[in-house]
Chain A
Amino acid sequence: MVSIRSISSTPSSLTYHDLPWIVEHSEDRCTLCGRCTSVCPTEAIYLAYRRQRMPKLDLLQKKRGSDYRTFVGIRQRTDLDHRCIGCGMCSMVCPNEAIGPQVNANDERAHFHSYQKGDAGKRGGRRNDRTSLLDQISFNRISMLTDPALDAGRHEFHMNTLLGRILPPAEYIRRQAAGEWIPPVREIFPFIIGSMSFGALSPNMWLGLLQGVAYCNEVLGIPVVMCTGEGGCPPWVLKSPFLKYIILQIASGYFGWDEIIRAIPEMQCEPAAIEIKYGQGAKPGDGGLLMWFKVSKLIARLRGVPEGVDLPSPPVHQTLYSIEESVMKMIQTMSMAWDFKVPVYPKISGSTSAKSVLNNLVRNPYASALLIDGIDGGTGAAYDISMNATGHPIASNVRECYLDLVAQGKQNEIPIFAAGGVGKNGNPVQNGMALIMLGASGVHMGKYIMQAAAGCLGSEKNRCNVCNLGICPKGITSQSPKLYRRLDPDQVAQRVVDVFMGLRIEMKKCMAPLGRSQSLPIGMSDALGIGNKDAADLLKIKYTC
């Protein structure tokens, strides 16, 4: 008889049937090599001794009994800290296909067991919402009557967009004649690698991205740029000619900026742009947090902080009390730091106040663009409630802002960039081009790049999502050399190049039937249709069914 006290049944105890992922293991194929347990990022599985009854039946002697064998098997841990996250690394390393996580088809009770130790649930990665309005939009103004559609394979397409403040034509001509300052403008590829900081990403990942971006620019002629996110940029990059492919971000923690400012005299070229982060789509109001175990020696040096301490960025710039003031001060000072030769623009969370921010920028001669980040944007780490339920979807937000510019006749002056959920279901060009035709000049994407270029395991089904913990099983978001050496920068670079070449083909396939080849179809809303009447009315596009 087993005493009831010895059964672990506290209010927070779970069995593996209660967890979102259940590790299935077939013992008959397992060779007990131990690779799965050693690779598991959350240590959800472990080798344990198990006992099995071996029925013993001797027919001749009419004796029955049991023998027991003891063997080494695999068990799944059931506490939340070590729960299986479904990343599937175990099945990836298993030589015999003997193990793998399965989605729990039952009601999983783990949700009710959050708030452990008084803390709210948080995760890295994604929103875990499969639905995407952008995926529903189709491009249906196909040139048929007067014109044959273009040939995506044969025609020449101009797909670049502009990042920077554009003067009204008459003002441009006047300033040209008078020899006055003309704001800097960059010609870039409209799909931009969004801000993922050198701190969030591992050195190998970051190097791979940079190599890929450089190849796209210098060999393929695709002017891809990438944004650093907060946390600075390695000094060798700051002093390299690759800096021109990099958007440097300054956020409320100002991490890495002393390093950047110190490097200015030694810079060979200007950065692509400066992005001032006021908010991000996935967690408005949360700010950033680089947790202590990701603050390695290198990161500590870049950011000018001690090693191994938490690095919180406040959700707002503490030195400023309004966006108006920050537009005045930060944009202008950043412009001045680079002699007014670098576009400086803010990034804000998609919100109902985006339009006011935009109008504020329109009136600032130094503001170069506006990046609006919608609720589906990825993030390093955030509370579940922020990621799941706080924020504003990007499509209507961008559309509203664009139409506001149209009404003022200023839509060529301040480019709007959109982020948040581009490519979350694997359709980056459909999503991106839809946003462009709704009025964006370009789109930023982070998660998609991690998934496509580095094999990030995260999905919109709550898979993995441990970017915040520094235990990324692929070594993408980890600062531990043990983990990030799994990632080969050259292979990441190769995949970045693959991705952008593929995006380029798909963009042509999208533009050709619309009859567009000379310019990106920014604001070409007559080409869009959606089978959702309410969305069609709100976005002022066609309702089709």
Chain B
Amino acid sequence: MCRLAMKTAITPFSPYSVISAMEAMQEGYDGSGLGLLLRGVNFADYKYQAGDPILSGIAHTDSSLQRLNAFMEANGYALKYDHEFDVNPALVEAKDRYKYFLRVYRLPDTFKDFSQTQIDEQLMLTRLALRADGEQHGGDLTAFSFWPDVAMIKEVGWPLEVGQALGLNDNRITSRICMAQGRQNTNYGINLYACHPFFIQGIATMTNGENTAFVPIREYLSGMHYPGYMGYQSDSEVFAHILHFVVNQLKLPLQAYKHVITPLKTDELLHHPQGAFLKGLRDACRRLIIDGPNCVMGTLPDETTIMVMDTKKMRPATIGGKPGEWALASEICGVDAMIPDRDKSLDFQPMRENTVIVPPDRQEYTIWSQFDQFPQHQAA
């Protein structure tokens, strides 16, 4: 079973502190990989301008890097900053890493007249095009994310060693949110795309557990023929896509996510203030019910952070911290490692009906229960 660690703070911090939390929970994973997502990124040697998309990935050969450059140029993206990791190759398990890239681009001039939705669409399609390009060339190019304020790193190996290999302890990159997950996926093929966190249009999730309902969910999402709903090297990737579907496509409030993936029972809905609406929502989204056991942690583009459990609640998860700074982890020792000087009476382990939400102001987290009034909908 893997372990999750996530920290969200008003003041940017080094991802290494989250990797240290992973180390604290080391007994819970096999060290087969590390996935990191940084949101609200700051570079020590570059003044990042919010809104510029950041491309994260790995070029495995020189030629793939050249293809990448050519592609971005041809599509009108101008390179503003290219972060050079201070890589220690001796600590990198894989031998075909030519360059880890983390590059800030300027949007093409042609986007000037685009609506935000169109821009979001283009960013996603660009990432998918790069990914497809890599796949067409024997997997020599891996593109994790292309989105403002978001940087992603995925690598095979023991998390702490991966952090050291990429020099993440040098404070040259800091962020307001850092998500870390310490394992490759269990089922299905192993490749870098299969590592958590999963990302689509600014929405990211990582998961601790197994999604036994994966195949029907994958079939349902793929059937929507939405370009971003692809990949599925891991059974956990669907969690990110469901969150994207609920929030971006259905335009439902964040609380609906829990109602979609783990709906209440019919008897419970009969007593719910918006039971009729939620029952219909459950039916309409029936194929998206996850069958756990899972703990899902996610972040949204506005730096909201959420954590939910599946209904069986067979996975550990906890939140703790203090105003302005919160840590979410699979285990208390992970929270301890990230925020040792907190008021432990504020620690909370969500139950099956809870969604823990840390809003962007990070002053306090809310525990929203599925039995509570659902914050929507005139018709509901």
Contacts from A to B (Cβ < 8 Å): 141, 143, 145-148, 150, 155, 158, 160, 162, 166-170, 172-173, 176-179, 182, 185, 187, 406-412, 514-519, 521-526
30 residue pairs of the A-B complex, CB under 8 angstroms, read A141-B212, A143-B212, A147-B210, A147-B314, A168-B284, A169-B285, A173-B252, A173-B281, A176-B277, A176-B379, A182-B280, A185-B283, A409-B220, A409-B223, A409-B224, A411-B216, A411-B219, A412-B287, A515-B210, A516-B213, A517-B291, A517-B311, A518-B292, A518-B310, A519-B291, A521-B213, A523-B287, A524-B216, A526-B214, A526-B215
How many residue pairs, one in A and one in B, have C-beta atoms under 8 Å apart?
123
- Set of chain B residues within 8 Å of A406, measured between Cβ atoms: 219-220, 222-223
**Chain B residue, CB-CB nearest to A173:** B250
- Set of chain B residues within 8 Å of A185, measured between Cβ atoms: 280, 283
With A170-B250, A173-B250, A412-B284 as known contacts, state yes or no: A525 contacts B215, CB within 8 Å: yes
- B residues 1-36 near A (Cβ < 8 Å) are 1-2
User: Is B266 located at the chain interface by the 8 A CB criterion?
Assistant: yes
- Set of chain A residues within 8 Å of B292, measured between Cβ atoms: 515, 518
- Set of chain A residues within 8 Å of B287, measured between Cβ atoms: 411-412, 522-523
- Set of chain A residues within 8 Å of B209, measured between Cβ atoms: 146-147
In the complex, A45→B318 CA distance in Å?
77
Which of B213, B249, B266, B314 contacts A524, CB < 8 Å? Answer: B213
User: Counting chain B CB atoms within 10 Å of each CB, which of A173, A182, A406, A523 scores highest?
Assistant: A173
- Set of chain B residues within 8 Å of A410, measured between Cβ atoms: 223
A511 to chain B, nearest CB (A): 9
**Chain A residue, CB-CB nearest to B223:** A409
In the complex, A409→B223 CA distance in Å?
4
With A166-B286, A168-B284, A412-B284 as known contacts, state yes or no: A523 contacts B219, CB within 8 Å: yes
In the complex, A141→B213 CA distance in Å?
11
B269 to chain A, nearest CB (A): 10
Cross-chain contact B252 with A518 (CB below 8 angstroms) = no
In the complex, A43→B110 CA distance in Å?
91
Known: A145-B186, A169-B284, A519-B291. 16 other contacts (CB 8 A): A146-B2, A146-B209, A147-B1, A147-B210, A147-B293, A166-B286, A169-B250, A409-B220, A411-B223, A517-B291, A518-B290, A518-B312, A521-B216, A522-B287, A524-B213, A526-B215
- Set of chain A residues within 8 Å of B379, measured between Cβ atoms: 176-179
- Set of chain B residues within 8 Å of A522, measured between Cβ atoms: 216, 287
**Chain B residue, CB-CB nearest to A180:** B379
Cross-chain contact B289 with A519 (CB below 8 angstroms) = yes
- Set of chain A residues within 8 Å of B112, measured between Cβ atoms: none
- Set of chain A residues within 8 Å of B284, measured between Cβ atoms: 166-169, 172-173, 412
With A145-B186, A168-B284 as known contacts, state yes or no: A150 contacts B220, CB within 8 Å: no
In the complex, A484→B290 CA distance in Å?
49
User: Is B47 located at the chain interface by the 8 A CB criterion?
Assistant: no
| Ranked 8 nearest A-B pairs via Cβ | A409-B223, A515-B212, A172-B284, A523-B216, A146-B210, A176-B379, A519-B289, A526-B215
A398 to chain B, nearest CB (A): 15
**Chain B residue, CB-CB nearest to A179:** B379
Convert B274-317 into 0s and 1s, putting 1 for each residue whose CB lies closer than 8 angstroms to a CB of A.
Answer: 00010011011111011111000000000000000011101000
- Classify the secondary structure of B's interface with A: loop
- Set of chain B residues within 8 Å of A182, measured between Cβ atoms: 280
B380 to chain A, nearest CB (A): 7
Convert B156-189 into 0s and 1s, putting 1 for each residue whose CB lies closer than 8 angstroms to a CB of A.
Answer: 0000000000000000000000000000001100
In the complex, A179→B281 CA distance in Å?
15
Which of B210, B224, B283 contacts A143, CB < 8 Å? Answer: B210
Which of A167, A187, A408, A519 contacts B266, CB < 8 Å? Answer: A187
Cross-chain contact B291 with A515 (CB below 8 angstroms) = yes
- Set of chain A residues within 8 Å of B377, measured between Cβ atoms: 173, 176-177
Cross-chain contact A176 with B280 (CB below 8 angstroms) = yes
- Set of chain B residues within 8 Å of A408, measured between Cβ atoms: 223
In the complex, A143→B211 CA distance in Å?
10
B3 to chain A, nearest CB (A): 12
**Chain A residue, CB-CB nearest to B229:** A409
Convert B205-233 into 0s and 1s, putting 1 for each residue whose CB lies closer than 8 angstroms to a CB of A.
Answer: 00001101111100110111100000000
User: Is B355 located at the chain interface by the 8 A CB criterion?
Assistant: no
- Set of chain A residues within 8 Å of B249, measured between Cβ atoms: 170
- Set of chain B residues within 8 Å of A143, measured between Cβ atoms: 210, 212
- Set of chain B residues within 8 Å of A148, measured between Cβ atoms: 314
User: Is B115 located at the chain interface by the 8 A CB criterion?
Assistant: no
A141 to chain B, nearest CB (A): 8
- Set of chain B residues within 8 Å of A514, measured between Cβ atoms: 212
- Set of chain A residues within 8 Å of B2, measured between Cβ atoms: 146
With A158-B265, A187-B266, A412-B286 as known contacts, state yes or no: A518 contacts B215, CB within 8 Å: no
B210 to chain A, nearest CB (A): 4
In the complex, A138→B314 CA distance in Å?
26
User: Is B136 located at the chain interface by the 8 A CB criterion?
Assistant: no
Cross-chain contact A155 with B225 (CB below 8 angstroms) = no
In the complex, A224→B223 CA distance in Å?
31
- Set of chain B residues within 8 Å of A518, measured between Cβ atoms: 213, 262, 289-292, 310-312
**Chain B residue, CB-CB nearest to A223:** B266
User: Is B345 located at the chain interface by the 8 A CB criterion?
Assistant: no
**Chain B residue, CB-CB nearest to A165:** B283
User: Counting chain B CB atoms within 10 Å of each CB, which of A148, A160, A169, A521 scores highest?
Assistant: A169
In the complex, A526→B213 CA distance in Å?
10
A471 to chain B, nearest CB (A): 44
Cross-chain contact B252 with A412 (CB below 8 angstroms) = no
User: Is B378 located at the chain interface by the 8 A CB criterion?
Assistant: yes
- Set of chain A residues within 8 Å of B245, measured between Cβ atoms: 169
In the complex, A412→B252 CA distance in Å?
20
Cross-chain contact B286 with A519 (CB below 8 angstroms) = yes
**Chain A residue, CB-CB nearest to B215:** A526
- Set of chain A residues within 8 Å of B223, measured between Cβ atoms: 406-411
- B residues 236-280 near A (Cβ < 8 Å) are 245, 249-250, 252, 262, 265-266, 277, 280
**Chain B residue, CB-CB nearest to A148:** B314
User: Counting chain A CB atoms within 10 Å of each CB, which of B2, B213, B220, B311 scores highest?
Assistant: B213
- Set of chain B residues within 8 Å of A524, measured between Cβ atoms: 212-213, 215-216
Which of A145, A179, A519 contacts B213, CB < 8 Å? Answer: A519
Cross-chain contact B220 with A412 (CB below 8 angstroms) = yes
In the complex, A148→B281 CA distance in Å?
30
A400 to chain B, nearest CB (A): 15
B234 to chain A, nearest CB (A): 11
In the complex, A514→B291 CA distance in Å?
10
Which of A141, A147, A409 contacts B225, CB < 8 Å? Answer: A409
In the complex, A182→B286 CA distance in Å?
16
User: Counting chain B CB atoms within 10 Å of each CB, which of A168, A179, A182, A515 scores highest?
Assistant: A515
In the complex, A178→B293 CA distance in Å?
37
Cross-chain contact B213 with A150 (CB below 8 angstroms) = no
- Set of chain A residues within 8 Å of B314, measured between Cβ atoms: 147-148
In the complex, A316→B291 CA distance in Å?
43
B142 to chain A, nearest CB (A): 24
- Set of chain B residues within 8 Å of A525, measured between Cβ atoms: 215
- Set of chain B residues within 8 Å of A411, measured between Cβ atoms: 216, 219-220, 223, 287
**Chain B residue, CB-CB nearest to A519:** B289
B131 to chain A, nearest CB (A): 22
